[in-house]
Amino acid sequence: MRAVRFHEYGPPDVLRVDEVPDPRPGPGELLIRVTAAGIGFADVQIRAGLMRDVLPDLPLPFAPGFEVAGDVVAVGPGVDPAAIGRRTVGATAHGGYAELAVLPEATALPLPASLDDPTAVALLGQGATAIGVVEAAGLGPADTVLVQAAAGGVGSLLVQLARRAGATVIAAARGDRKRELARQLGAHVVVDSGEPDWPRRAGEAAGASVTVVLEGTGGAVSQAAFDLLAPGVGRMVLYGTASGQPPRIDPLAVYHRGLSVTGFASPALPARRLTQLREQALALGSSGVLRPIIGSTLALSQAAEAHRGAEGRTTVGKTVLLP
Ligand SMILES: NC(=O)c1ccc[n+]([C@@H]2O[C@H](COP(=O)([O-])OP(=O)(O)OC[C@H]3O[C@@H](n4cnc5c(N)ncnc54)[C@H](OP(=O)(O)O)[C@@H]3O)[C@@H](O)[C@H]2O)c1
The protein residue whose alpha carbon is closest to atom 20 in ligand 1 is: 310
Instruction: Provide the residue ranges of all domains of the chain, joining segments of one domain with +.
Output: 2-111+293-321, 126-267
pLDDT bucket at 307, cuts 50 / 70 / 90: very high
* Eight-state DSSP code of residue 115: S
How far is the centre of ligand 1, averaged over its atoms, from the C-alpha of 318 (Å)?
11
The protein residue whose alpha carbon is closest to atom 8 in ligand 1 is: 240
**Mean pLDDT calculated for residue range 135-153:** 97
How far is the centre of ligand 1, averaged over its atoms, from the C-alpha of 129 (Å)?
12
pLDDT at 56: 82
**Which ligand 1 atom is the nearest neighbour of the CA of 319?**
19
- Predicted confidence (pLDDT) at residue 192 exceeds the cutoff of 80: yes
CA 189, CA 120: separation in Å to the nearest integer? 29
Per the CB < 8 A criterion, the answer to whether 147 and 198 are in contact is: no
**Mean pLDDT calculated for residue range 175-186:** 98
- Predicted confidence (pLDDT) at residue 254 exceeds the cutoff of 70: yes
How far is the centre of ligand 1, averaged over its atoms, from the C-alpha of 269 (Å)?
20
**Mean pLDDT calculated for residue range 87-96:** 97
pLDDT at 260: 98
Q: What digits encode the pLDDT tens for the residues 261-299?
A: 999 999 999 999 999 999 999 999 999 999 999 999 999
List Cα–Cα distances, 237 to 42, 140, 215, 259, in angstroms: 18, 14, 6, 11
- Predicted confidence (pLDDT) at residue 212 exceeds the cutoff of 90: yes
- Predicted confidence (pLDDT) at residue 205 exceeds the cutoff of 90: no
The protein residue whose alpha carbon is closest to atom 18 in ligand 1 is: 152
The protein residue whose alpha carbon is closest to atom 43 in ligand 1 is: 152
pLDDT at 138: 97
Cis, bond preceding 61 (omega within 30 deg of 0): yes
Q: What digits encode the pLDDT tens for the residues 50-87?
A: 988 888 888 999 999 999 999 999 999 999 999 999 99
- Which tops the pLDDT comparison, 26 or 204? 26
CA 248, CA 256: separation in Å to the nearest integer? 16
CATH topology of domain 2-111+293-321: Quinone Oxidoreductase; Chain A, domain 1 (3.90.180)
User: In which element (H, E) is residue 129 found?
Assistant: helix 128-137
pLDDT at 253: 97
pLDDT bucket at 195, cuts 50 / 70 / 90: very high
**Domain 126-267, classified CATH 3.40.50.720, yes or no:** yes
Residue from 162, 259, 257, 145 nearest 206 by CA: 145
**One fold for both 2-111+293-321 and 126-267?**
no
Q: 286-316: buried (b, 16+ CB within 10 Å) or exposed (e) per residue?
A: beeebbbbbbbebebebbbebbbbbbebebb
CA 105, CA 27: separation in Å to the nearest integer? 9
The β-bridge partners of 101 are: 32
The β-bridge partners of 144 are: 168
**Which ligand 1 atom is the nearest neighbour of the CA of 42?**
47
Report pTM. Answer: 0.97
pLDDT bucket at 208, cuts 50 / 70 / 90: low
How far is the centre of ligand 1, averaged over its atoms, from the C-alpha of 85 (Å)?
34
How far is the centre of ligand 1, averaged over its atoms, from the C-alpha of 38 (Å)?
14
The protein residue whose alpha carbon is closest to atom 9 in ligand 1 is: 240
Query: Residues with beta carbon inside 6 Å of ligand 1?
Result: 41-42, 125-126, 129, 149, 151-155, 173-174, 178, 193, 216-217, 239-244, 264-266, 310-311, 313, 315
**Which ligand 1 atom is the nearest neighbour of the CA of 243?**
31
How far is the centre of ligand 1, averaged over its atoms, from the C-alpha of 41 (Å)?
6
